[in-house]
C-alpha cells in the first residue's frame, strides 16, 4: 500500500479568525500536491478530537482541509465555545502533512487505550485524542489515551505539532 501522508489538527488556546500566513491558501481546484504521497491536496481532511478528563481538560475538535480551511468546534473548558474558522497557508498544509509522514502515522496501531496490548499500563482520569486523516480516498484514525504509560508512540508529539502549526491556542484556555 503506498504511503499516504495525512494531516492532523490540534491542541490549545484563544479565539479570532486567523490571517493566512506566508503564500496564502492553496488555490481552489488546483489539486496541488502539498507533500509526497498525496496526489490531490483538495482531498485532504485532518481532524483532531480532544476528549474529556476528570477535571477541566479542553474538549474540542479541529479540522484542517487541504484548501487551508480550518474549523474549530469548542465544547467545554475552551475560550471559544461553538464554531470558529481560520485559514492557513499552503506551506502550513504541507508542514502538517509532512508531520504525519515523519510520525509514520499510516503504520501506527489504530488504538492506544487501556486493555489494548499497545497500553500495558494506564493512569486513570486522563484525556484522549483521536487523530483522523483522509487523502486520495484513503483514511486512517488513531485513538490515544494520555494515561497510557511505558510506551513509545509519536501521537502526543504529532498532536502538539499539528496544534502549534494550526495555532489552535487562540481558541483554547
pLDDT digits (tens, 9 = 90+) for 120-171: 999 999 999 999 999 999 999 999 999 999 888 999 999 999 999 999 999 9
Whole-number Å distance between alpha carbons of 46 and 100:
10
pLDDT band at 25 (very low <50, low <70, confident <90, very high): very low
Domain of residue 59: give its range: 41-171
What pLDDT, in 10s, does the model give residues 66-101?
999 999 999 999 999 999 999 999 999 999 999 999
Q: What is the pTM of this model?
A: 0.79
**In Å, how far are 14, 19, 35, 76, 169 from 80, measured between CA atoms?**
7, 17, 31, 9, 10
Kindly give the residue spans of alpha helices, DSSP state H, lying in the chain.
90-102, 155-165
* Number of separate domains in the chain: 1
Residue with cell 504541507: 94
Q: Is residue 112 part of a domain?
A: yes
How many residues are listed for the chain in this entry? Answer: 173
Q: Is residue 72 part of a domain?
A: yes
Q: Is residue 121 part of a domain?
A: yes
Q: Is residue 35 part of a domain?
A: no
Q: Is residue 13 part of a domain?
A: no
Average confidence (pLDDT) over 108-127? 94
Does the CA dihedral 36-42-43-44 come out positive or negative? positive
Q: 133: domain CATH number? A: 3.30.1560
Say what the pLDDT of residue 169 is: 96
Say what the pLDDT of residue 48 is: 96
Q: Is residue 47 part of a domain?
A: yes
Whole-number Å distance between alpha carbons of 41 and 66:
5
Amino acid at each position: 500500500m503506498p504511503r499516504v501522508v495525512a494531516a492532523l489538527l490540534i491542541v490549545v488556546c484563544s479565539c479570532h479568525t486567523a490571517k493566512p500566513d506566508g503564500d496564502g491558501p492553496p488555490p481552489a481546484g488546483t489539486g496541488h500536491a502539498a507533500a509526497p504521497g498525496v496526489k490531490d491536496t483538495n482531498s485532504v481532511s485532518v481532524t483532531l478530537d480532544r476528549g474529556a478528563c476528570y477535571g477541566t481538560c479542553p474538549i474540542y475538535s479541529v479540522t484542517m482541509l487541504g484548501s487551508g480551511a480550518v474549523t474549530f468546534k469548542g465544547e467545554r473548558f475552551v475560550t471559544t465555545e461553538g464554531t470558529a474558522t481560520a485559514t492557513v497557508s499552503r506551506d502550513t498544509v504541507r508542514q502538517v502533512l509532512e508531520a504525519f509522514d515523519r510520525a509514520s502515522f499510516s503504520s501506527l496501531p489504530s488504538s492506544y487505550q487501556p486493555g489494548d496490548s499497545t497500553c500495558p499500563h494506564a493512569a486513570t482520569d486522563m484525556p484522549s485524542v483521536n487523530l483522523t486523516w483522509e487523502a486520495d480516498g484513503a483514511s486512517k484514525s488513531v485513538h490515544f489515551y494520555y494515561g497510557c504509560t511505558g510506551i513509545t508512540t509519536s501521537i502526543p508529539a504529532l498532536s502538539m505539532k499539528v496544534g502549534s502549526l494550526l495555532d489552535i491556542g487562540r481558541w483554547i484556555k
